[in-house]
Amino acid sequence: MTARLEVIVGPMFSGKTERLIAKLHRAQYARKRVRIIKPAHDTRTQGFIASRAVLPDGTTEVTDRLSAVMVRSEDDFHRIVKPFDFDVLAIDEAQFFPLDTPLRDSLGWFGRAIRELLRDKRDTNLRIIVAGLDMDFAEEPFGPVPGLLAIADSVEKLTGVCMVCGSDAGYISHRLISDEKQLVVGDAGEYQVRCRSCYPPPRKAR
Integer Cα distance of 51 and 15 in angstroms:
7
Domains plus CATH for the chain? 4-158 (3.40.50.300)
Lowest mean pLDDT, pick from 13-22, 35-44, 53-62, 133-142 = 53-62
Per-residue pLDDT, 167: 92
pLDDT in tens, 72-89: 999 999 999 999 999 999
The pTM of the full predicted model, rounded to 2 decimals, is 0.89
190 catalytic, yes or no? no
Per-residue pLDDT, 179: 59
Residue from 93, 116, 139, 190 carrying the catalytic annotation: 93
- 24 pLDDT higher than 80: yes
Give Cα 19 distance to the centre of its chain. 11
Report the pLDDT averaged over residues 105-118: 97
Q: Which of 42, 92, 45, 37 is nearest to 70 (CA)?
A: 37
Lowest mean pLDDT, pick from 5-14, 91-100, 110-119, 167-176 = 167-176
Integer Cα distance of 118 and 128 in angstroms:
8
- 126 pLDDT higher than 90: yes
